């Protein structure tokens, strides 16, 4: 399955909030890429994030997703 690399922190937070799983990370210099499998659901959720107006997520879930990403970035967890 094809892998997609994303570095937009808030997009990745949104995707995690929507239930998509990070399958790995890749650090290039000072930038971290979050890896996802390329699926129809991933494409749909990226489009919802970028162009949708009705793509609601719970504030609590979104905050937990942000914390999870910060743990990955600064805590060394993958």
Which tens digits make up the pLDDT trace of 11-59?
999 999 999 999 999 999 989 999 999 999 999 999 999 998 777 889 9
Decide the pairing of beta strands 24-28 and 3-6.
Answer: unpaired
How high is the pLDDT of residue 75?
84
**Is the entire prediction scored with pTM above 0.75?**
yes
Residue ranges covered by each domain of the chain: 3-75
CA distance 78 to 76: 7
| pLDDT tops 90 at residue 69 | yes
Residues 61, 30: contact at Cβ < 8 Å? no
């Amino acid at each position: 399955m094809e892998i997609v690399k994303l570095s937009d922190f808030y997009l990745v937070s949104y995707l995690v909030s929507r239930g998509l799983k990070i399958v790995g990370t890749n650090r290039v210099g000072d930038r971290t890429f979050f890896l996802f499998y390329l699926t129809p659901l991933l494409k749909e959720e990226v489009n919802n994030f970028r162009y949708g107006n009705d793509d609601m997520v719970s504030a609590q879930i979104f905050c937990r997703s942000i914390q999870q990403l910060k743990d990955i970035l600064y805590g060394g967890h993958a």
